[in-house]
Amino acid sequence: MAVALSGCNDDTGEATDKDTSAAESKGPSAGSSQSAAPSSPSGDQPSVAGWQTQTAQKHHFRYDVPVKAKKWKVLGEDTALSYTDENGQPIVVMTAAASYREGGCSSSPNPKAIGEAGKGQLATVGTTGGGKDGTLQENARNWAGNWGFAAYGGADHKPKITVSEAKPWKQGGIDGYTATAQVTVTNRPSSCVPPKAIVHSIAQKLPDGTMHGWVIYADQRVPNALTAAEIEKVMGTVRSTGS
C-alpha cells in the first residue's frame, strides 16, 4: 500500500515540555465496553486497577497504561509528539500521549522528531485528528499507516507498510473503526532499532462531524517489546469522554 499522508488533523505540532505529569480528567466517561475489554469506569478512574489514566479532552478519548514501575510514562495532555518533513513541517502530530521504556535506544529510524517523539521509546500512545476530511474508515487506515511511515523511517528511509482494512470498533462508548499497520523498518542505524513494528488506530466521529484518532505504535522483535496481548490490554481501556 502507498501511504497517503492525508489523515484529517487539526493539531498544530507545536511541542511543549512544560508538563510531564499525568493529565487531570475533567469530564465523565461515556458508555461501556461491548466486548471482553475492562468495563469503562466513571471519571478518570482507571479501568485496570492501579494503572495510570490519560485523558484527551480535545479528542474525546480516555485510556489507561500500566504503572510507572512497568516503565510506562504519562505525558502532559498538551505535550506534543511530531515527525516532520524535509521543510520541518509536521506530517503527524499527537497529544495526550504516554510512552513505554523511553530512552532505551540511542538511535532512531527517523531523526526528524519534535518534542517527546524519537527518544528511544519501545512504544508510544496518543491522540490526533480533529478535521472533517474523508470517511472514518479512511482516517482509521491513514492514521495507522501515517504513524508507521513517519515513526519508522519517513521520506528519507521509507519503511515497508501493509495496512489492514478498517474494522468496526464498538466498545468504551465508541462506535468507530480500527485499523492495523504492519511495518518493516529499512533504516536500522543500530541493533536497538527494531526490524519490525506495529501500529493500531481507533477512530471516532463526534456529532459536530469532526473525526479523532487514538494511536499506538510499538517496536517489535527487540528485547522488552510489547506483546500482542499487552497491546490488546491497553487498547481495551480506550473509551470516549463524550462529546
pLDDT tens-place string over residues 153-206: 999 999 999 999 999 999 999 999 999 999 999 999 888 899 999 999 999 999
Question: Which pLDDT belongs to residue 25?
Answer: 26
Query: Helix (H, G, I), strand (E, B), or coil: what is residue 147?
Result: helix
Q: With respect to residue 20, please indicate whether it lies within any of the assigned structural domains.
A: no
CATH number, domain with residue 101 = 3.40.1000.10
Q: With respect to residue 17, please indicate whether it lies within any of the assigned structural domains.
A: no
Question: Which pLDDT belongs to residue 37?
Answer: 42
What is the span of the domain harbouring residue 233? Answer: 52-240
Q: With respect to residue 18, please indicate whether it lies within any of the assigned structural domains.
A: no
Exposure letters 168-205 (e unless 16+ CB within 10 A, then b): ebebbbbebbbbbbbbebebeeeebbbebbbbbbbbbb
Region for 213 from its dihedrals, namely left if φ exceeds 0, alpha if ψ lies in -120 to 50, beta otherwise: beta
Question: Which pLDDT belongs to residue 46?
Answer: 93
Q: With respect to residue 26, please indicate whether it lies within any of the assigned structural domains.
A: no
Question: Which pLDDT belongs to residue 120?
Answer: 78
pTM for the full predicted model: 0.83
CB 160 within 8 A of CB 134: no
Q: With respect to residue 191, please indicate whether it lies within any of the assigned structural domains.
A: yes
Locate all alpha helices (DSSP H) within the chain, ordered by sequence: 136-151, 228-235
Question: Which pLDDT belongs to residue 7?
Answer: 59
* Residue ranges of the chain with per-residue pLDDT less than 70: 1-43, 106, 115, 243
Question: Which pLDDT belongs to residue 20?
Answer: 25
* DSSP E strands, 134-232: 160-163, 167-171, 174-184, 196-205, 211-220
Question: Which pLDDT belongs to residue 148?
Answer: 97
Q: With respect to residue 90, please indicate whether it lies within any of the assigned structural domains.
A: yes
Question: Which pLDDT belongs to residue 19?
Answer: 28
Question: Which pLDDT belongs to residue 117?
Answer: 76
Q: Total structural domains in the chain? A: 1
Q: With respect to residue 40, please indicate whether it lies within any of the assigned structural domains.
A: no
Query: Helix (H, G, I), strand (E, B), or coil: what is residue 182?
Result: strand
Question: Which pLDDT belongs to residue 189?
Answer: 87
Q: With respect to residue 28, please indicate whether it lies within any of the assigned structural domains.
A: no
